[in-house]
Structure 1
Amino acid sequence: MKIVRRVGATPRERGSATGQSCPDIFELSDGSFAVIGREATKELDPELPPDAARADYERIVIITRETLLRAKKDIPDA
């Protein structure tokens, strides 16, 4: 599996000049997406709705609203 492309604006384009806060979204060669975000599993796991589940190997991460909104135009419809 490889990163094919970034989805959305670069962290620098979103104002991260220091590299200290760089949430990001990437499309992978198998069609999946990878997300860089702030680890929030411990904080948000108890908040998951009853019909949501998380495997032991999965983590909940947070990305900024701006990161996702600026990626919207690059996310394929199918």
Structure 2
Amino acid sequence: MEIVRRIGASPRERGSMTGDTCPDIFELSDGNFAVIGTDATASLDAKLPADAARAEYERIVVISRATLLRAKGDIPDA
């Protein structure tokens, strides 16, 4: 599995002064997506809706609204 491309604007393009520690979204060679964000598993796990579940190896990751909105145009329809 490889990173194919960034989805949306880079952290620097979104206003990060250093670009070092900001949320990011990447498309992978297998068609999946990888997300860099803040691990909020501990604070959100118990608040998941009744029809949602998280495997032990999964984490709830938070990215900024700006990150996702800037990525919207790059997300393929299919």
TM-score, L = length of structure 1: 0.96
1:55 is aligned to: 55
User: What fraction of aligned residue pairs are identical, expressed as a percent?
Assistant: 76
CA RMSD of aligned residues (A): 0.9
Structure 2 unaligned segments of length 5 or more: list them.
none
In structure 2, distance between residues paired with 1:69 and 1:21: 18
2:42 is aligned to: 42
> Aligned to 1:4, what secondary structure does the other structure show?
strand
Structure 1 unaligned segments of length 5 or more: list them.
none
Number of aligned residue pairs: 78
Moved over 3 A (4+): none
2:4 is aligned to: 4
1:22 is aligned to: 22
Distance apart, 1:21 and its partner CA: 3.8
